Amino acid sequence: MKHTTFAAATAAALGIAAPALAQDAVTLQLKWVTQAQFAGYYVALENGYFEAEGLDVTILPGGPDIAPPQVIAGGGADVIVEWMPAALAARENGLPLVNIAQPFKSSGMMLTCWGDVGIEGPETLANRTLGVWFFGNEYPFLSWMSTIGISTDGASETGVEVLKQGFNVDPLIQRQADCISTMTYNEYWQVIDAGVSEDELITFKYEDQGVATLEDGLYVLEQDLEDPEFVDRMARFVRASMQGWKWAEENPEEAAMIVLDYDETGAQTEQHQIRMMSEVAKLTAGSNGALDIADYERTVATLLGGGSDPVITAAPEGAWTSIVTDAALQ
């Protein structure tokens, strides 16, 4: 059963009926399934922050067969959560996505490797089998390998063999790969929960390698920003969302429990979600929702550094705007 919303609880405490005000609808498409990675939005929904901003928000979970850019292109969402590499690639390919806010300040992506196979640093990744997520998630990895001069096309004797990784950790556990893609808040801990100790592993965080790209930003279609009413709606949405994120940072266990309430699959566990929320809080810390231009430029530089096959071929124009966060944070 869902918790009583903040607004309803306040009205009840005062002994008055909650006003029946018209709410502006907003549909948010998540990048992945209901989990603490998106806790700020569920907290904003549960605690009444969206309602207080005059919004009726619908949160659509993602999954392995759901691509947020395709959803928004088809009119199925007003705003999506997406990683910037995939968003910029989509923009270059004709879908005019624009970043309107950046709740995640840091990247949680890393490569997790067995420590007993002789890997000591990035330069020793050559001639290894590495698990990589695709569907847009491969872009940071490809740029990283290009930056350090390791081929990923399978033709070079000093390159790497790229294993198309599913959304699980089986390739590492079953020794099908020397390393796999993981997030600090999710898959890494799945490896640990599978019985592997942390001292058996070596990890390479993209942040530490200087090739981290921005994750979990909020994106809309460029043409929608021409409508002042839409911009106002998004400003209210971002303001309430960031209120939810800051509450989640300060109350990780309570935020995790809210997420669990909204997990209709029943697949998530309390232990995993509390741990995930604690790790996600490290990534949202330091962000007020506004995009840091230095982080944006680093992301673009990383994606352009793709050698003969870069993620994007030219620095994008119009790929972000501060119009929404300027209004939200004033």
Give the whole-angstrom CA distance, residue 14 versus residue 253: 28
First to last CA, the chain: 36
Instruction: State mean pLDDT over 259-273.
Output: 95
Residue 165 — pLDDT band, cuts 50, 70, 90? very high
15-19, 141-145, 234-238, 272-276: least confident range: 15-19
pLDDT tens by residue, 280-307? 999 999 999 999 999 999 999 888 876 6
**In Å, what is the CA distance from 103 to each residue of 107, 136, 183?**
11, 20, 17
Closest-CA residue to 101 (of 284, 281, 227): 284
Neighbouring CB atoms inside 10 A of 271's CB total: 11
Looking at residue 304, its pLDDT comes to: 85
pLDDT tens by residue, 18-73? 444 689 999 999 999 999 999 999 999 999 999 999 999 999 999 988 999 999 99
Report the CATH number of the 6-106+214-329 domain: 3.40.190.10
Would you say 81 and 28 are in contact if contact means Cβ atoms under 8 Å apart?
Answer: yes
Mean pLDDT for all residues in the chain:
91
- Overall CATH class of domain 109-209: alpha beta
pLDDT tens by residue, 141-155? 888 888 888 988 877
Closest-CA residue to 258 (of 55, 12, 60, 45): 45
Closest-CA residue to 46 (of 297, 193, 259, 264): 259
Q: What are phi and psi of 179, to 5 degrees?
A: -145, 155
Looking at residue 21, its pLDDT comes to: 62
Would you say 248 and 44 are in contact if contact means Cβ atoms under 8 Å apart?
Answer: no
Looking at residue 12, its pLDDT comes to: 44
Looking at residue 244, its pLDDT comes to: 98
Give the whole-angstrom CA distance, residue 241 versus residue 249: 12
According to DSSP, the residues that pair with 55 across neighbouring strands are 24
Judged against a pLDDT cut of 90, whether residue 202 lies above it is answered with: yes
Looking at residue 307, its pLDDT comes to: 60
Q: Where are the domains of the chain?
A: 6-106+214-329, 109-209
Q: Do domains 6-106+214-329 and 109-209 have the same CATH topology?
A: yes
Q: Look at the chain and count its residues.
A: 330
Looking at residue 263, its pLDDT comes to: 97
Judged against a pLDDT cut of 50, whether residue 7 lies above it is answered with: no
Judged against a pLDDT cut of 70, whether residue 248 lies above it is answered with: yes
Reading the block at residue 49, the tokens are 């922050």
Judged against a pLDDT cut of 70, whether residue 234 lies above it is answered with: yes
Judged against a pLDDT cut of 80, whether residue 78 lies above it is answered with: yes
Looking at residue 136, its pLDDT comes to: 65
Bridge-based pairing state of the strands 201-205 and 97-101: unpaired
